[in-house]
Amino acid sequence: MVIALVALIGAGIGGTLASYFGVVADRGWAGSVEGRSRCDGCGRTLQWFELVPVLSFVALAGRCRTCEARLTRAHLAREALGVALGAAAGAAIGIALGR
């Protein structure tokens, strides 16, 4: 039970960090701290529920809610990799804590 919980927390942290690093890669370091995330197509500021790594991409079918601009699959791949690495690290920590 502890392993699963720590893995879930790790997955959330990994996905969030991967998403942020994607913003830094797209906008640059200075641009990453200039306000909230926005749609590349219409410029609309994204709501909190549109920023959940992987789940938002799947729920919105990879498109903007307003203008339906396609999001690149690179966003999904980057976040999915972050989720997987975070979950693996969390599981490893959970196993170490369980001993």
**Residues 2, 94: contact at Cβ < 8 Å?**
yes
pLDDT at 10: 96
Nearest to 79 by CA among 4, 7, 21: 21
pLDDT tens per residue, the chain (99 residues)? 889 999 999 999 999 999 999 889 988 888 888 888 889 899 999 999 999 999 999 999 999 999 999 998 998 999 999 999 999 999 999 999 886
Q: Which amino acid is at 64?
A: C
pLDDT at 70: 94
- The pTM of the full predicted model, rounded to 2 decimals, is 0.85
pLDDT at 64: 94
Quick one: tokens of 34?
């200039």
User: What residues contact residue 18 under an 8 Å CB cut-off, 6+ apart?
Assistant: 53, 78, 79, 81, 82, 83, 85, 86
pLDDT at 99: 64
Domain chopping of the chain, boundaries: 2-98
